[in-house]
Amino acid sequence: MKKQKMNTNRMVMLSMFVAVGVVISPILRVEGMCPTAHLVNIVCAVFLGPWYSLLCATMIGVIRMLFMGIPPLALTGAVFGAFLSGVFYRASHGKIFCAVFGEIFGTGIIGSLVSYPVMAFLMGRDGLNAFFYTPMFLGATCMGGAVAWLLLNQLSRSGVLAKIQWSLGAKVYDKGNVKKNSGEDRGTGGADQAA
């Protein structure tokens, strides 16, 4: 029963991230730049992990392409960073800066390079080169990453980040804040430690 509740909590949180990602994506958006998408990717990666973040970015990208007429940049400019954000966060044992760096590297470098053949050959865009999207993608990821870093650091300092991660069954790296703010030792998260 506890594992089923964790899965339900994760699906609800994932759905909320997708909804927020779609709704706020038009803010500051120009082709090749969507800083709000990177904010959502990083926060989702820290809350839920790399696979959920990848799924979230894919779902947001597909919805934006279908209903908002966004080119395939909605996918190539999101999925690599979303996944690497979660991977780098876990590999660094919970360092928020590493989650931001994963998004910047994954989207700003890898995503921008992958976008060139997609837009040039599949979409028939002329006048592009391999690094055409790199400055825009790097700028957008730095803007979204800065906001995500500020938000997640504040959540971490207040102990809320650890509580959210614990309630979702995710790995909790900031155990001191859970103890300090709730008086309980909630361990390292996981479905077996659900409330």
The count of other CB atoms within 10 Å of the CB of residue 27 is: 11
Q: How many angstroms separate the CA atoms of 39 and 21, rounded?
A: 9
Q: Check: CB of residue 78 under 8 Å from CB of residue 57.
A: yes
The Cα angle at residue 177 between residues 175 and 182, in degrees rounded to 5: 100
Q: Which domain holds residue 60?
A: 2-25+33-193
pLDDT in tens, 96-132: 999 999 999 999 999 989 888 888 777 777 777 778 8
pLDDT in tens, 64-101: 999 988 888 888 888 999 999 999 999 999 999 999 99
Number of domains in the chain: 1
More confident residue, 189 or 156: 156
Helix (H, G, I), strand (E, B) or coil at 49: coil
pLDDT in tens, 18-40: 999 999 888 877 766 788 889 99
Question: Would the pLDDT of 187 be above 50?
Answer: no
- Whether this prediction's pTM lies above 0.95 is answered by no
CATH of the domain at 101: 1.10.1760
Q: Check: CB of residue 9 under 8 Å from CB of residue 47.
A: no
